Structure 1
Amino acid sequence: MRNIFKFRLWVLTLAFMSFTWPGEKAITVYLVGDSTMSQKAIKAYPEAGWGMPFSFFFNPEVRVDNRGQNGRSTKSFLKEGRWSAVMDSMNAGDYVLIQFGHNDEIQTKKNATTEVEFRTNLKRFVSETKSKKAFPVLITAVARRKFDAAGKLEDTHAVYSEIIRQVAKETKVPLIDLDRKSQALLTAFGPEQSKFLYNHLEPGEHPNYPNGVQDDTHFNEFGARKMAQLVLAEIRALKLGLADHIVSKDK
């Protein structure tokens, strides 16, 4: 009986914590970007986007709506109506975390954008978010794991990340330089240990990847959490209002 009582008390406590008084509106944080932040299907596990653990670090006053999608660039996100869907549901006081670059910069991809297009699309995201009295935050593309023969990490997003930095400065919006922060993290881990952040599996190690996988772009659960921690640390450092709703010190 005592255990049943404790269980019911726990359920009631959770219900009370998630309750918002009439008239109160939860802040929605929209994650807009590509596969490195997106919610993964079960068939992709243990691959994980950093937006997945990110959503668990806020109190009940914040709702994280992860709209990140595999393979998307600024161009395809607009063309497919994904951005208009975000705009339709966005309210004043919400946050929009915008991270693109991985698919925009590879010119052999059908969704690639020129440097001019990329800049134009980013500015559109920012201006339209501001028009709804919401808060845009630009994020540079998270680093790929690519070390040269000497063991030095290569900067694979140099051009498009710099465009994001410039647009953030020109539009006077907060910038989370996840490219540089994640590069520093990978450098600290080194060429071999950094594999533990990404979706690297030996044949037979996981049923979703019977032949194994060596993916230096997408994270495993540990890597996704480490990247989410970098984003959270920058939200605090920038003193965004959203930081007041983070419930974990995130060790």
Structure 2
Amino acid sequence: MNKGLIIALSMLVAFVAPPKRKITVWLIGDSTMSVKDPKTYPETGWGMPFVYFFDSTVKVDNRAQNGRSTRTFMEEGRWQPVVDAMQEGDYVFVQFGHNDEVKTKKSYTTEEVFKSNLVKYITDTRSKKANPVLLTPVARRSFDSAGHVTGTHDVYAQIVRDVAKENNVPLIDLDKEGQALYQQWGVEKSKLLFNQLAPGDHPNYPQGKEDNTHFNELGARMIAQIVLKNIRSLNLELVERVRK
């Protein structure tokens, strides 16, 4: 073989980018994110359609659980296995607040403990050289008599924003952007995003269902698309792994 050709081929090989190392995106949160039992369909967590956004170098491991708060997720031993399995370069998307903020629930977490728990999720993730991403609790569907969206997570959503800023962590504000989405769709049309059913519409809910917290397939996909949009605007490395 021509010596010049050999040199040229050698240089070409040297400049070919190595294949991307596979990573895991861990989803840590509550029922608005989690994988659902078929018995509750059409209720859908936004983490379910989220898995289809990425190429083969990304595994999305959805560990979110219904009814969990920052505190109970750790107390039940759900967090430590994630830390143990985490690898350098992984991402951890943390979205809590729905169950932390309700004082009548066993999952209730004070504002101070909520903040310290978020910091622990960040610290543990970074200790494994992985990348934390904080998300405010996704907005509930709530309108006033004038047809304006009203916030239901004001205090706990702000804590997430503050912790993200103080710890230089990427933030995806699903409370703010969810409210904007519902306002755009309006009082009646926004019901199409949620698990709202008339009696007889679905065998899983023979008496019907009026749920302004949990999404159906359409709503989950819309929220997942908001998350994807923010991955792009934040210029996370994950952008390079989105399906073309």
Matched AA of 2:45? G
RMSD over aligned CA atoms reads 1.0
Secondary structure of residue in 2 paired with 1:55: helix
Matched, 1:233 2:238: no
Aligned partner of 1:12 in structure 2 is: none
Rg larger in structure: 2
1:143-154 to structure 2, matched below 5 A, reads 143-154=139-150
How far is the alpha carbon of 1:136 from its aligned partner?
0.1
| Aligned pair partner of 2:113 in 109, 117, 123 | 117
**1:68 aligned onto 2:32:** no
Label 1:211 to 1:61 Cα distance change in 2 as closer, same or farther (>3 A). same
- Structure 1 residue 26, shift from structure 2 partner: 1.5
Cα shift at 1:77: 0.3
Partner of 1:44: 40
- Whole-angstrom distance in 1 between the partners of 2:97 and 2:52: 25
The question of 1:91 aligning with 2:79 is answered no
Write the letter of the residue equivalent to 2:176: R
Q: 2:26 aligns with which of 23, 30, 47?
A: 30
3-state SS, counterpart of residue 98 of structure 1? strand
1: distance between equivalents of 2:222 and 2:185?
12
Structure 2: unaligned runs, 5 residues or longer: 1-18
> TM-score, length-normalised on structure 2?
0.91
Work out the CA distance in 2 between the residues paired with 1:24 and 1:135: 17
1:199 maps onto 2:198 in alignment:
no
Taking structure 1 as the reference length, the TM-score comes to 0.89
1:171 maps to 2:167 = yes
Task: Output the CA distance in 2 between the equivalents of 1:180 and 1:154.
Answer: 10
Q: How many positions carry a matched residue from both structures?
A: 226
Q: Which amino acid aligns with 2:121?
A: F
Give 1:223 shift.
0.3
1:216 corresponds to which residue?
212
Structure 1 match to 2:12: none
Segments of 4+ in structure 1 off by > 4 A? none
Amino acid at match of 2:38: I
Counterpart residue number, 2:14: none
2:203 and 2:160 mapped to 1: Cα distance?
38
Q: Deviations over 1:31-87 (max 9, x none)?
A: 000000000011010000000000001000000000000000001001001110111
Paired with 1:108 and 1:42, the residues of 2 have a C-alpha distance of 28
Which residue is 2:153 aligned to? 157
Q: How far is 1:24 from its partner?
A: 6.7
